[in-house]
Chains A and B, each alone.
Chain A
Amino acid sequence: MTNSWTDIKNTDLVIVMGGNAAEAHPCGFKWVTEAKHHRGAKLIVVDPRFTRTASVSDYYAPIRPGTDIVFLMALIRYMMENDKIQWDYVRNYTNASLIVKDEFGWKDGLFTGYDEEKRDYDKSSWDYVIGEDGYAEVDPTLENPRCVWQLLRAHVDAYTPEMVERVCGTPSDRFLKIAEMIGECSSPTKTMTSMYALGWTQHSKGAQNIRGMAMLQLILGNIGVRGGGMNALRGHSNIQGLTDIGLMSNLIPGYLNIPTEKEPSWESYMKSRAFKPLRPNQTSYWQNYPKFMVSFMKAMWGDAATKENDWAYNYLPKLDVPTYDVLRMFELMDQGRCNLYFCQGFNPLLAFPDRGKVTRSLSKLKLLVTMDPLETETARFWENHGEHNPVDSAAIQTEVIQLPSSCFAEDEGSLTNSGRWLQWHWPGAEPPGDAKLDTWIMAQIFLRVRDLYLKEGGVFPDPIVNLTWDYADPNDPTAEELAKEMNGRALEDVTDPADQAKVLAAKGKLVKNFTELRDDGSTSCGCWIYSGCWNEDGNNMARRDNSDPDETGAYANWSWSWPVNRRTLYNRASADLAGNPWDPERPLIWWTGEKWTGYDVPDIAPTAKPDEVGPFIMNQEGVSRLFTRGMMRDGPFPTHMEPFESPMANVFNAKMRGNPVARLFESDVAHLGDSTEFPFVATSYRLTEHFHYWTKHNVVNASLQPEFFVEISEELAAERGITRGGQVRVWSKRGEVWAKALVTKRIKPMICDGKTVHVVGIPLHWGFVGAARKGWGPNSLTPFVGDANIETPEYKAFLVNIEPAVGEAVS
């Protein structure tokens, strides 16, 4: 989230699209009801189903799964056509005025540079024109046909309300009503917040869905302000922490990058990370990258990382492919190229797409180790559970070791919520039986592996034997020790660059925050964005002061938020060019004439003059990006792409299937279905009563939602002879499931391109272990393809067929 949960109370309009906040985030949703009750805020829901969020909305519109970009680009078009733009914001805080290369263009659904063979773009044309002074060229009048604003205008021109109706199935009057409500938020004193989740990410173009709304929010001037923002509702209590800490195959903690094969040396790695400002006076904060990176290397390898050996850069693996994401890892297992899988806190048998492939892959492993507080289907993938897991146990030779671990309520540490708050927690109970803390388990494995390397050597033992491991009890690192390691400390006295005599952090002390990190090896820091979480002031994550002066919703002394306890990212953009709040009723920070001050930690250098330094300090341009240059694989603007399995062809280019640059393994192509065999659109989702595959173990949750079902419209039920509560069979090109039929008015057939489109809703939560009735997950049906940029699987739009199954209707 750019903002925080508590800030949602400040909004005038909530749009829930690509998510279902009331059902999947019921506790956070309280801030929506708060905004509605006390600010008179309105709630819009756009969703294929009339959800429980829709049940408390002011306005609802249906949409065909996987067509969000059409809707969003049409909203942008509407704002441009109807002058619903916050002009001062757009001119000054976005890259609307920057000039783009003449070669850049878009045609037939594709941007310039597409290589069909490689399924990739040559992105060299997707960039600014750089002038002789080394800066990007601009046209402040926004009239130059090659400026971002004019290119965007041309780009969205095709996305008319009629196009929305044709592709999304959303009646155009519904679309227009929503556009009108949103348009009101172009006023500097009205804001909209976007709350989204996996309904946008789980598509082969998920990142572009989110960009679409981010662009709309920028045009309305809603980023950086109270009650605004792009608010990703994270699906687990600590999934924000997972990405922050870099548990992605291509990341290092704090969104630094794992090097690639093209960066064999420190010099080559740093060369592409110079982050020179693209406009005069701009901050381009990533220029500090070397400080964060060197401090990370010092945290990892201490004295073994020196300037002379390029901070042990050769210890880091070099990626030969963009990512080793889960889809790729299972592909490698299936190919027999990965034979040991250490599965910590995951249940891939029910969570990863194409369950048949998952089972096949796990069956080819030599060793599977699971670490989980709960019994998982994955740990039992080899057990025959009849139709619910029809495997031939005798044919599976995989050795499985289950390591029972503690759950969140049994250990100490912090959870990072969607709003980037690191909230410390204490154990409420001892782990039962033989369950151990994850940290203890990892320490045992590491120490044994290190011993083996010390005793026996190996091809390259250095990164293992030199890893910093200076915990008081090496067998059991504590949460406090790990938090301090992430915060970082001074390895030598750290002095003020402006006054060398002034010591900011004495040798051995914890640094105050990342501003004290250095690139000369004098500091260590495990995760720069977390620097400040536990410093010499103590454990800031454990703060529990819920005072909120002037009720701004900031709660600055409750826990600790990254970065540097800032609650709203880009908050400099909440003030105008003179530094005064756009909305005097909702000030966040402001310029006193000498410095920035306010309710939040300013997201700008404290003395940076408002008319000189742009508010988007992480960007080389100093402004936000409506056009993203070559930073995304599938285009600098979002363009409509159908799901890989779709009932209709792409209206721009009938030959284009799905996202033209999404990775598709050869073995999976044959497992994609088409609408002649599979006429219905399916989408997957959670229910409020359960949390993933955990709570089916709990009898209370299990009693509240006991059994697997699918949701269909009354029309589809009639067409297929399905009765309410009857048993149905649902199948895709990849597998089949049996479920109870929940026949409802809340799903209505849509008309897309003149054809009726039926949606089948498939909740997750059931498996073959636990207290609830045995069932299936949607992953038995979903395709093995992910987002082009981050490989999130396409769970939200795929094709199925449905028929009544043998068995009597219950009611």
Chain B
Amino acid sequence: MTVSPMMDSPRTAAANPPVQPVQGNMGQAAVVRSSAGGPVAAEPTALTPVAKLIDVSKCIGCKACQSACVEWNDTHPEIGANVGVYENPLDLTPDMYTLMRFAEYDNPDSGDFEWLIRKDGCMHCAEPGCLTACPAPGAIVQYSNGIVDFIQENCIGCGYCVSGCPFDIPRLGRADHKAYKCTLCSDRVAVGQGPACAKACPTKAITFGTKDDMTALAAERVEDLKSRGYDNAGIYDPEGVGGTHVMYVLHHADKPGIYNDLPENPQIAGVVENWKGPTKTFGLAAMGLAAVGSLVMGLMTRSDVEAEDEQRAADMVDRAADPAAPPEEQV
């Protein structure tokens, strides 16, 4: 279904909200994918694909994005402790969907010191590992503009989205056992506004618009960085996950790992990859994967989720509550 320009994706985060009442454009009618066979629109509204561009070379690490994210999403982060670094909190939490990560880097080529600051958060993959891994129907959806959203009322708190995410983004809430992550402000984008973080960013390090526009802007920025001697400047829009709707401009695109372990070639983990498609349930059963098999059973009779799965989810919740704990191994 085509969509009128008035109702299509916003082109910028800078614009002020419309003053007329707007009907949101990102309801069920725009859902193109849904986890575990959840409902999708038969003829989805064809929204223009959007993207958030994070220009690391313009980012001053001020955390205005973190602040705006907390304010808009009305989360209640803890007042933690300083453990000798600039990251606060130390990791993403169910109350902090985005986080500035700071890396101190001695550049072996130039001999110069660099302080690499990267805003971490959901990348909104075109091929979302979380959605593929999720066993709860309709708990994770993807809209026609590319935004991947968690629908908490459908979430069963199993934590498979965390394992399925190549960027280690979702976090489970301790109190409600639901998974949380950046929504790309789907509730704002639905009514013509850009994400809160992009709106708050003072230096335009975070911009928002159509994916085409953001890709063009990124190319312009890469050119500028190359003129300043960053020969390997480039765009981070990894193919392994089908491209992302959150992209980075990096001065050292050849070494994403130096930006606090940004994956060089993120992919949906092999096991999860094979779960894709409507044959997922049967396919998995046929593969005889005990854990996953029992999980599929669990979907039908929730009480049958195995103890192992429960423990796994509980560990994730503990980890979310204690950011200092070591990261869990990926599937």
Binding site for B on A (CB under 8 A): 22-23, 26-27, 29-30, 32-34, 36-37, 40, 42, 50, 52-56, 58, 60, 688-689, 699-709, 723-726, 740-746, 771-773, 809-811
Q: A55-B114, A726-B84, A745-B104 are in contact. Are A26 and B79 (CB under 8 A)?
A: no
Q: For residue B203, which residues in chain A have a CB less than 8 angstroms away from its CB?
A: 22, 26, 29-30, 32-33
Known: A22-B62, A688-B63, A725-B84. 4 other contacts (CB 8 A): A700-B70, A704-B66, A725-B82, A746-B115
B-side interface size class: 35 or more
A37 to B60 CA separation, bound complex (whole angstroms)? 15
Q: Can you report 14 residue pairs joining A to B where beta carbons are below 8 Å apart?
A: A22-B60, A22-B203, A26-B203, A33-B205, A37-B224, A52-B61, A707-B82, A708-B82, A725-B85, A740-B83, A741-B84, A771-B79, A773-B81, A810-B81
B115 x A740 contact (CB < 8 A): no
**Nearest chain B residue, comparing its CB with the CB of A696:** B79
B252 within 8 A of A: no
B292 within 8 A of A: no
B77 within 8 A of A: yes
A706 x B82 contact (CB < 8 A): yes
A594 to B87 CA separation, bound complex (whole angstroms)? 60
B67 within 8 A of A: yes
B33 CB to nearest chain A CB (Å) = 34
Q: For residue B285, which residues in chain A have a CB less than 8 angstroms away from its CB?
A: none
A184 to B96 CA separation, bound complex (whole angstroms)? 46
Complex partner residue of B79 from A53, A699, A745, CB under 8 angstroms: A699
B174 within 8 A of A: no
Q: For residue B114, which residues in chain A have a CB less than 8 angstroms away from its CB?
A: 55
B117 x A52 contact (CB < 8 A): yes
A223 to B62 CA separation, bound complex (whole angstroms)? 31
Q: A29-B203, A740-B83, A811-B84 are in contact. Are A700 and B60 (CB under 8 A)?
A: no
A692 CB to nearest chain B CB (Å) = 16
A53 x B78 contact (CB < 8 A): no
Q: A33-B203, A56-B57, A703-B78 are in contact. Are A810 and B84 (CB under 8 A)?
A: yes
A742 x B58 contact (CB < 8 A): no
Q: A724-B84, A742-B82 are in contact. Are A52 and B115 (CB under 8 A)?
A: yes
B104 x A58 contact (CB < 8 A): no
9 shortest interchain CB distances as A-B pairs? A725-B84, A724-B84, A22-B60, A707-B82, A55-B115, A725-B83, A688-B62, A703-B77, A811-B83
Q: For residue A60, which residues in chain B have a CB less than 8 angstroms away from its CB?
A: 112-113
B64 within 8 A of A: yes
A33 x B204 contact (CB < 8 A): yes
Q: For residue A42, which residues in chain B have a CB less than 8 angstroms away from its CB?
A: 228
A26 x B62 contact (CB < 8 A): yes
A811 x B61 contact (CB < 8 A): no
- How many residue pairs link A and B with beta carbons under 8 A? The number is 135
B129 within 8 A of A: no
Q: For residue B304, which residues in chain A have a CB less than 8 angstroms away from its CB?
A: none
B202 within 8 A of A: yes
Q: For residue B57, which residues in chain A have a CB less than 8 angstroms away from its CB?
A: 56
B82 x A709 contact (CB < 8 A): yes
A37 x B80 contact (CB < 8 A): no
B82 x A704 contact (CB < 8 A): no
A322 to B230 CA separation, bound complex (whole angstroms)? 54
**Nearest chain B residue, comparing its CB with the CB of A744:** B104
B170 within 8 A of A: no
B22 within 8 A of A: no
Q: Which residues B283-323 have CB closer than 8 A to chain A?
A: none
A721 CB to nearest chain B CB (Å) = 15
B106 within 8 A of A: yes
Q: For residue A50, which residues in chain B have a CB less than 8 angstroms away from its CB?
A: 113, 115
**Nearest chain A residue, comparing its CB with the CB of B86:** A742
A713 CB to nearest chain B CB (Å) = 11
A56 x B60 contact (CB < 8 A): yes
A704 x B204 contact (CB < 8 A): no
B79 x A772 contact (CB < 8 A): yes
B88 within 8 A of A: yes
Q: Which residues B169-199 have CB closer than 8 A to chain A?
A: none
Q: For residue B117, which residues in chain A have a CB less than 8 angstroms away from its CB?
A: 52, 55
A45 CB to nearest chain B CB (Å) = 11
B59 within 8 A of A: yes
B83 x A745 contact (CB < 8 A): no
**Nearest chain B residue, comparing its CB with the CB of A55:** B115
Q: For residue A23, which residues in chain B have a CB less than 8 angstroms away from its CB?
A: 60, 62
Q: For residue B59, which residues in chain A have a CB less than 8 angstroms away from its CB?
A: 56
A787 to B151 CA separation, bound complex (whole angstroms)? 60
B227 CB to nearest chain A CB (Å) = 7
A56 to B57 CA separation, bound complex (whole angstroms)? 6
Q: For residue A746, which residues in chain B have a CB less than 8 angstroms away from its CB?
A: 104, 113, 115
A30 x B202 contact (CB < 8 A): yes
Q: For residue B76, which residues in chain A have a CB less than 8 angstroms away from its CB?
A: 699
Q: Which residues B224-271 have CB closer than 8 A to chain A?
A: 224, 227-228
Q: For residue B63, which residues in chain A have a CB less than 8 angstroms away from its CB?
A: 688-689, 704-705
A37 CB to nearest chain B CB (Å) = 6
A271 to B86 CA separation, bound complex (whole angstroms)? 57
Q: For residue A27, which residues in chain B have a CB less than 8 angstroms away from its CB?
A: 202
